[in-house]
Amino acid sequence: MAFALSNMQLESSAFASQGAIPTKHTGEGDDVSPALSWQGAPEGAKGFAVICHDPDAPLVQHGTYGFVHWVLYNLPGSTTSLEENTNQGTSGKNDFGKLGYGGPMPPEGHGLHQYYFWVLALDKPTDLPEGLSLPEVLKQLEPNLIGMNRLVGTYQRD
């Protein structure tokens, strides 16, 4: 992923930075996406995308490490928040092989995992088709990436 760290601030009403993600937002609960909001997008932002990735997953697939839980794109530049279990934007394919959000579900006994929720600011709106994988989305978005930042939550199965 291109690196365009910015002063955007990403937060969730469901969990604090480095805080535990509530079971409701995991594969062991209701498996619904958490509410997210951001501020301080770079000037000229005309679109956004959101990604959730677990770099602690003990997998190598498609030539990448970790596990992709959520790929959401085609969010308009006026977007500054997503409600819980959002239906905004266009869903990509997660590593569960499904569209939309798939919550944390690390292997039993694997310890605490970190989940990186990224918001990407783009200098143009997008109209990408549904069902793209993270590498496919990033290939399309990287040339237009003008800012990004993350919120990290944690989860551990009992």
We report the CATH number of the domain holding residue 63 as 3.90.280.10
Residue 13 has pLDDT above 70, yes or no: yes
Look up the domain containing 54 and give its range: 9-112+124-153
| 46-99 pLDDT tens trace | 999 999 999 888 765 655 678 999 999 999 999 999 999 999 999 999 999 999
3-37 exposure pattern, b = at least 16 Cβ within 10 A, e = fewer: ebebebebbbebbeeeeebbbebbbeeebbbbbbb
- 3 lies in some domain: no
∠ Cα 116 80 2 (to 5°): 45
- 4 lies in some domain: no
| 17-33 pLDDT tens trace | 999 999 999 999 999 99
Please provide the distance, in angstroms rounded to a whole number, between the alpha carbons at the two ends of the chain: 32
- 90 lies in some domain: yes
88-102 exposure pattern, b = at least 16 Cβ within 10 A, e = fewer: ebbbbbbbbeebbbb
Enumerate the β-bridge partners of residue 64.
61
pLDDT band at 7 (very low <50, low <70, confident <90, very high): confident
Structural domain tally of the chain?
Answer: 1
- 158 lies in some domain: no
- 22 lies in some domain: yes
How far apart are alpha carbons 93 and 148 in whole angstroms? 21
- 46 lies in some domain: yes
pTM of the shown model: 0.93
Residue 4 has pLDDT above 70, yes or no: no
pLDDT band at 114 (very low <50, low <70, confident <90, very high): very high
